Structure 1
């Protein structure tokens, strides 16, 4: 469908198997190219701007490495609970504390995506509200022990067991919660 991209090379700057799978779902050929970046956020940055800031930071890490026909895609997802960013947990206890705080409540998932070529750059954002039923402590521990959600913002993947049994409502894009708002990416790639 994206015939305008036939002479372009799409570069996905992500090791995330979820983002790779989702981009394949748009029938887009791409290659993975990574450039390490320290994801350090200014302490005075408001929580709702963190995803966009990090997406642009990841894009900027490529500097002038892009070829004339290349389009780079970078992305970042954050979970916001009461305007507080829940990042990726470093320990089981941190994962437990995050999930316990999300239990029985609604939180916001924000994903920002930056598309960049040599001549232009755009960052777009999407947000989705996610509601969890009350999660029992043994359910939370089961999820952490079996699924090891240490690479996921907010310590969960909606596409895993905890999403199947715990999410009661979402308002917005499901794929945004997975970390890639495909509808926005597709619309921008159509115009590129």
Structure 2
């Protein structure tokens, strides 16, 4: 009679578990590697954790997408959409320099604070961020994007959980305590 090697069974179970984890990690990385504009995640782990936190609260999609730049006289006009779950709303900001534009909008059952800024008068790059709250005021997620219209491969984005959220801009382009400074300190591909 042939004896069963008791060491083969645990090894087989461990291999199956590792394969399942690798698939889950691969799906996780693929989901958060790029946002709807094609911008690369600065930190996939932190972005994914924020996305999963919000999903646990019922917000499965929170993204700034479809950003397009046009000229309106001497001003740059940026149009895009905020997408929350299966709802979207158009947002438009107008910039003549590096001034910050801010506003609030309701999307379904969510309240959104939106911020935008161009680095210069040609609006290259463009920074935008949003904080999403429930209708009762619970903070769910923050997203920030840095978009290069002339070279999209340099575009980056990041999601933050409420405890890690940053102010949009504090007047210093290189200060990572603000969203603009944080995104401005990374090149595309970091975190991939």
TM-score (ref. length: structure 2): 0.29
Q: Whose Rg is larger?
A: 2
Give the strand-richer structure, 1 or 2: 2
Higher relative contact order (CA 8 A, sep 6+): 1
TM-score (ref. length: structure 1): 0.29
